[in-house]
Amino acid sequence: MKISIFGLGYVGCVTAACLAHDGHTVLGVDVNPLKVDLVGSGRSPLVEPGLEDMMKASVASGNLKATLDSHAAIQESDVSLICVGTPSHENGNLELSYVKNVCSEIGKALTEKEDYHVVVIRSTVLPGTVEECLIPILEQESGLKAGVDFGVCMNPEFLRESTAIADYFNPSFIVIGQIDERSGAMVHELYKTLEAPSFRTPIRTAEMIKYSCNAFHALKITFANEIGNLCKAHGIDGQDVMHIFGHDQQLNISTTYLKPGYAFGGSCLPKDVRALVYRAKERDVESSLLRSILSSNQNQIDLGIKMVERTKRKKVGILGLSFKPSTDDLRESPAIELVETLVGKGYQVQIFDENVQLSRLIGANKSFIEKELPHIASLMSDSLEELVAEAEVVVITHGSKTFKEVPNMMTAGQTLIDLVGIAKNKKDMQGQYEGICW
């Protein structure tokens, strides 16, 4: 395939060299004559292991060239990858002038392009940027319609400096945010030699995946550092702790718990985070990340309450009282605070949880519910069907299998608030639907 790459910085050079290595015809474009001269002669403008050798071989084979002429690059290619920088302003917002300028240049060149050309944003931009900012520039400058006359995709990169070539050829996944199937198919063709799962998504999803990955990487480093600092305050080797921590790939290093939804609760997580933060304070160890966990969790509880309040309806059925399905443990369950708050505000609340039988509660579990909801017995319902039929608003708080049929019980005048995602793919359900993170 014939490819033009706009921006011969880190991402652009690595992408250009790897695509050329795979046999594509690549034309690098930049406004800096020095970068163009270097790439055109097979030299790398930056230090990256293996990059210059790959560029030299690709230039020698004729697969890699460079130019200052953006108009000619569009005419000579099928796909254009935008790889220019998007640095930060002081307030944290992105500087988009470079990517806007490139889109303007590409848009002008598209006016003379007869074949279907796909513009691929590889630069890192916030969700909504491509659709709300960049596509309008392309359409205005070209007089054409995106998704009809030309294609647009968002194709984030996941290259780490010093290991970029290995990262390119051994990706964890390939993400292609597409405006239409035709555009996505052309971009998918670029990576047909790579063995990795490929995800074709809406453009905004692809934009967000890049930020989710980088934020999580930053989160992991900060978490490890805070644990390490607390370890040192106790005479413990923090690297030993995290080395063992990483061997749990069932819970610690896995997709477990990485599913957006309602808040956490139970007898362990809130208590242990609270204790760890208290100990850090005792030892004068700064732990801003650990301290933020419980307040962020509280925000999610508050969000669930606000979702109910926004319905402007008073008869509420709560499905799920324990902190997770298949248990009757009510300790620090976020559903308890949801119920407590709604009752306090005058809502008519009924609760169904097939695993919670008040007569069987004992010990700390019984003491907790008696303290938090002393009139709990009057709120419990024995029938899921009756609760749903009588409620104006139904709230699902955890993922019990029993609740999967609830969307089919709803009528047009009811609202379902889904805090776990049980009903988000139910296309034919009656009534209003709102998910907490989707």
DSSP-assigned letters across all residues of 147-175: TTTBEEEE----PPTTSHHHHHHS-S-EE
| pLDDT for the residue numbered 425 | 87
Q: Any bridge partners for residue 178, and if so which?
A: 153
Q: Which of 426, 421, 422 is nearest to 437 (CA)?
A: 421
Work out the angle at residue 99's Cα, subtended by the Cα atoms of residues 98 and 103, and round it to the nearest 5 degrees. Answer: 120
Tokens of 129: 């940027």
pLDDT tens string 326-379? 999 999 999 999 999 999 999 999 999 999 999 889 998 999 999 999 999 999
Q: Which of 28, 32, 31 is nearest to 40 (CA)?
A: 28
Backbone torsions φ then ψ of 239, nearest 5 degrees? -70, -35
Helix crossing, 288-309 with 269-282: angle to 10°?
140
Q: Which of 419, 399, 422, 408 is nearest to 308 (CA)?
A: 419
- Which residues contact residue 31 at a Cβ distance below 8 angstroms, ignoring those fewer than 6 apart? 68
CB atoms within 10 A of CB 243: 10
Backbone torsions φ then ψ of 79, nearest 5 degrees? -135, 140
Structural domain boundaries of the chain?
2-203, 298-435
Cα–Cα distance for residue pair 395/264, rounded to 1 Å: 16
Cα–Cα distance for residue pair 221/214, rounded to 1 Å: 11
SS3 6: strand
Q: Is 268 a catalytic residue?
A: yes
Query: pTM for the whole thing?
Result: 0.92
Check residue 146 and report its DSSP letter. Answer: B
Beta strands in 256-375 (DSSP E): 315-319, 348-352
Edge to edge, the sheet with strand 79-82 lists 64-67, 25-29, 2-6, 79-82, 118-121, 151-154, 174-178, 198-201
CATH for 2-203?
Answer: 3.40.50.720
Q: Cα–Cα distances in Å, from 400 out to 46, 135, 369? A: 54, 43, 20
Asked if the domains at 2-203 and 298-435 fall in one CATH topology, the answer is: yes
pLDDT of the chain, 438 residues: tens digit per residue: 999 999 999 999 999 999 999 999 999 999 999 999 999 999 999 999 999 999 999 999 999 999 999 999 999 999 999 999 999 999 999 999 999 999 999 999 999 999 999 999 999 999 999 999 999 999 999 999 999 999 999 999 999 999 999 999 999 999 999 999 999 999 999 999 999 999 999 999 999 999 999 999 999 999 999 999 999 999 999 999 999 999 999 999 999 999 999 999 999 999 999 999 999 999 999 999 999 999 999 999 999 999 999 999 999 999 999 999 999 999 999 999 999 999 999 999 999 999 999 988 999 899 999 999 999 999 999 999 999 999 999 999 999 999 999 999 999 999 999 999 999 888 888 889 999 999
Burial class, 412, CB count within 10 angstroms (exposed 0-12 / middle 13-18 / buried 19+): exposed
Catalytic residue among 13, 83, 213, 268: 268
Q: Any bridge partners for residue 119, and if so which?
A: 80, 152
Alpha-carbon torsion 306, 312, 318, 321, what sign? positive
pLDDT tens string 57-83? 999 999 999 999 999 999 999 999 999
- Which residues contact residue 195 at a Cβ distance below 8 angstroms, ignoring those fewer than 6 apart? none
Cα–Cα distance for residue pair 291/183, rounded to 1 Å: 45
| pLDDT for the residue numbered 427 | 80
| pLDDT for the residue numbered 404 | 94
The three state secondary structure string of 216-241 is HHHHHHHHHHHHHHHHHHCCCCHHHH
Alpha-carbon torsion 413, 417, 420, 421, what sign? positive
Fold of 298-435: Rossmann fold (3.40.50)
